[in-house]
A = this chain, B = another copy of it.
Amino acid sequence: MFPALENAIALISTLPGIGNRSATRIAFQLLRSDERSVQELAEALVDLRRRMRFCSECGGLCEADVCEICEDTNRDRSAVCVVEDPGDVFAIERTREFRGVYHVLLGALSPLDGIGPEDLRLGELSRRLVSGHLGQTPIVELFIATNPTLEGDATASYIMDRIVPEGVRVTRISHGIPTGAAIEYADQSTLARSIRARTEMHGSAGRRGFDG
Contact = CB atoms under 8 A, between A and B. Distances in A.
B31 A42 contact: no
B1 A90 contact: yes
A22 B2 CA distance: 28
A208 interface: no
Nearest to A63: B2
A87 interface: yes
Contacts of A25: 16-17
A12 B85 CA distance: 19
A44 B11 contact: yes
B46 A38 contact: yes
B24 A87 contact: yes
A211 interface: no
A30 B52 CA distance: 10
A8 B61 contact: no
A201 interface: no
A49 B35 contact: yes
Contacts of A85: 28
Interface in A20-68: 22, 24-33, 35, 38-54, 61, 63
Contact of A52 (B26, B31, B33, B61): B31
A163 interface: no
A33 to B, nearest CB: 7
A45 B42 contact: yes
B4 A51 contact: yes
A86 interface: yes
Given A17-B22, A48-B4, A54 B40 contact: no
A212 to B, nearest CB: 42
Pick from A5, A15, A31, A51 the residue with the most CB of B within 10 Å: A15
Contacts of A87: 24
16 contacts: A4-B48, A4-B50, A7-B47, A8-B44, A8-B48, A15-B26, A17-B26, A18-B26, A27-B48, A30-B48, A31-B52, A31-B53, A32-B106, A35-B49, A38-B46, A38-B49
